[in-house]
Amino acid sequence: MRRMVKIGAGISLGALAGALLPAGAFAADELVVTSERRAQNVSDVPEAIAVIGKDELVRIGADHPSEILARAPGVLIHRGNGAEHLTAIRSPVLTSGAGAGSFLFLENGVPLRSAGFANINALFEAHTEIADSIEVLRGPGGALYGSNAIHGVVNVLTPAPTEDLSGFISFSGDTVGRFKGSGQLSNSYGAHGFYAGVSLEHEDGYRDDATLDQQKATLRHDYDGGAVTVSSIFSFDNLNQETAGFVEGPNAYLDEVLRRTNANPDSFRDAKSVRASSRIDIQASDTVTLSITPFMRWNEMSFLMHFVPSMALEENGHWSVGAQSAAYIDAHDGFSIIGGVDWEYTEGYLRETQSIPTVFSYTQGLHYDYNVNALSASPFLQARFEIAQGVEAVIGGRLDWTRYDYINNTADGVVGRFLRPADRRDGFVTASPKASLLFDIGGGKGYVSYARGARPPQTTDLYRLQINQTSDGADPELIDSFEAGWKGAVNERVNLEVAAYYMMKRNFFFRDADGYNVDDGKTRHVGVETALNARFTPSITLDINASYGVHTYRFDRPVLSLPNATEAIRYGDDVDTAPRWLAGARGTWAPESLPVSGEIEWIFVDHYFMDAADSQTYPGHNLVNLRGEWRFSDHLKLTLAVRNVLDKLYAERADYAFGSERYFPGEERTFSVGLRADL
């Protein structure tokens, strides 16, 4: 049998375990790659990680990544229009620079974007449609991950080449004019393995003037030379969408006519990205493995900012080159060390132009035009060792050094409400220590852990300023996390994972409703998460995930503008857009003797506050989805799905701003049918 690259083995075997157990369920032999950037048993990871495996991803047939990540405890994705989204992982749903920079989105262990240039809608760039598995690490990323791994990490893993010729082609369509197609082909010849995957999507749009077209492609080549293995991956994404903004007014999402309208018919988002990486593993000895992953990325995006009065056009992009490197030393007595250096060089740009006449202080013409060149270097070291029978310790740390060289391409100073800083250079150094204990207890493994997450400010927080703001006060954001958990088998039919966390975040940067920088915000995050899998019979399983979290402000921030008084912050108030309860359950039926299988899914989102002053509330919602499959043969099957079975009128996102309730309405009941043919 051809031996796969280490990370490739983690991908393929992790997906196998994911096929046997739903997301969040614990299996002692399940492999994950996110924690150490190599395959390891999930039972040996002193962190909370959920895995959505290949078979489950195929069964979901997701129209949007939010459908996938809803299966991980403590995760909420607010779906916007088209491919857009906002993320929460052990956090409120975060926006602006905090929303872009607080979550680390990876593809095969490599960040989708350069730190400081993150995309708040980053998941649309990952090729989730053909993914082999998706791993979600909740909480700070620890020693091996640095910038942006504040609240969590999402790692999308590409399928490894198969030993024999295999592939599939699939098509689906639904009652809101959404049509999708995917295909892949894979084979191996001696030491070389090849994989190609492509996916296409077109949406007419649930709302007016909201079409979407997207194309993605992934190519992979694996080489096994015995002591040297190489895995090279190329990814491409192209998105063209018309964008529908908020519907506004009291409970506007309940109006069957208004919820389908679009007050911004000219809005759009066009984006392209290319990524390439090549992981090289060298087995230097029985105990030493050297790994280096050079990578490059390029992206560009333009969109109309329908959410502000200027309706300005933003154009941004960046290209990067860099490498991840690590040395793995695994002694025979259980002692191991991982050490290495990650580095990256980036050149990025941003332009913002208003074509409509001046509106208040939003002036017609050029608002911003700047470039930022960035350089980062991050050494890290982690050690794992046994301190007593059945007790292991993991201790590590990471140092991130980042430098931004900002170049203003237009006049310095104030134009209308816009402040253009003069050319400048900014540097940041952050440290991310981690310490954990992992111990055998009660038929499973328990752990206690401390980790710090840290990130420099986003470049837009520093250089895309408005009057009354300054870039001088922006400091790196820090979060200190304390976690305890247990994962194991309650009995031969029930697997359980529980985790509790306490996190304090400081230097939380945002712009308040008066337009001033807040660079010293503090928030506290306390919660409990659980994931359970019960196999009642060989054909019937139940998968449950639930979380309870309290996310509160730990500072005061008055607002002087009366129209925006609802954005005043008081110590101890819940952070807006932070439901306390999130839950989901899925029952699956897959009899071996019949050519049919099915799944029923329930999703619950608790009520949450829509503004910082906690004066406006969204009541939450319950959704029910059905999915089924009919296998005509081993090579051909029909898939059926009914999303939002009860035809619930709900909001994917609820917000309150400028004295008005604003909503992204969720889709009503939708029927879809698909056909998949396998080689």
What is the per-residue pLDDT across 5-22, written as a single tens digit (0 to 9) for each?
333 333 333 333 333 344
Tokens linked to 269: 């988002």
Residue 254's SS3 state is helix
Half-sphere exposure of 418 (CA within 13 A, CB side): 25
Q: Percentage helix, strand, coil, to 5, in the chain?
A: 10, 55, 35
What residues have CB less than 8 Å from 633, skipping those under 6 apart? none
Q: 211 near 185, Cβ under 8 Å?
A: no
Q: In the numeric block, which tokens belong to residue 491?
A: 């009995």
* Residue 519 confidence (pLDDT): 77
Q: What tokens were used for 475?
A: 């400091």
Q: Amino acid identity, residue 394?
A: V
Torsion region of 259: left, alpha or beta (phi above 0 gives left; psi -120 to 50 gives alpha): alpha
Tell me, what's the pLDDT at 27? Answer: 53
Helix (H, G, I), strand (E, B) or coil at 582: strand
> What pLDDT score does 473 carry?
63
- Report the C-alpha gap between 24 and 494 in whole angstroms: 13
User: Could you tell me if 610 and 587 are in contact, meaning their C-beta atoms sit under 8 angstroms apart?
Assistant: no
Which residue type does 26 have?
F
CA distances from 172 to 159, 246, 637, 674 (A): 21, 28, 12, 4
- What's the count of helices (H) and strands (E) in the chain, helices before strands? 5, 39
Task: Give residue 472's pLDDT.
Answer: 65
Tokens of 35: 């924690």
Tokens, residue 76: 């909420």
Strands (E) across 127-225 are located at 133-138, 152-157, 166-174, 178-189, 192-203, 212-224
- Position 19 scores a pLDDT of 36
**DSSP secondary structure code for residue 2 in this structure:** P
SS3 265: coil
Residue 651: C-alpha distances to residues 2, 384, 623 (Å): 49, 46, 11
Can you give the length of the chain in residues?
679
- Cβ(410)–Cβ(124) below 8 Å: no
CATH number of the domain at 6-678, please?
Answer: 2.40.170.20
Residues with Cβ < 8 Å from 597, sequence gap 6 or more? 588, 589, 590, 591, 628, 629
Q: How far apart are the first and last CA of the chain?
A: 21
pLDDT of residue 217: 98
- DSSP run (H or E) holding 461: helix 459-463
135 and 72 in contact (C-beta within 8 Å)?
A: no
Regions of the chain with pLDDT less than 70: 1-29, 470-473
Question: In which residue are the tokens 């392209």 written?
Answer: 272
CB 568 within 8 A of CB 554: no
Which amino acid does the sequence have at 518?
V
CB atoms within 10 A of CB 13: 20
Q: What is the pLDDT of residue 589?
A: 96
Tokens 């996390």 appear where? 481
> For strand 152-157 and strand 660-665, is the pairing parallel, antiparallel, or unpaired?
unpaired
- Measured at the alpha carbon of residue 667, what is the angle toward residues 664 and 672, in degrees to the nearest 5? 150
Q: Residue 339 and residue 5: Cα distance in Å, rounded? A: 19
* pLDDT at res. 442: 83
Closest CA to 64 of 597, 643, 663: 643
Element (H, E) at 14: helix 6-20
- Residue 596: Cβ within 10 Å count: 13
Cα 497 to Cα 534: distance, rounded to the nearest angstrom: 12
Cα–Cα distances in Å, from 213 out to 242, 269, 271, 550, 610?
9, 11, 11, 38, 31
HSE-up of 121 (CA within 13 Å, CB side)?
A: 18
CB contact at 8 A, 228 and 42 = no
Q: Sign of dihedral through CA atoms 285, 289, 290, 294?
A: positive
pLDDT at 7: 39
Q: What is the pLDDT of residue 566?
A: 87
Angle, CA 373 vertex, CA 369 and CA 375 arms, to 5°: 155
Burial of 234 (0-12, 13-18, 19+ CB in 10 A): middle
Pairing between strand 103-107 and 152-157? parallel
How big is the CA angle at 299 (ends 518 and 80), to the nearest 5 degrees?
60
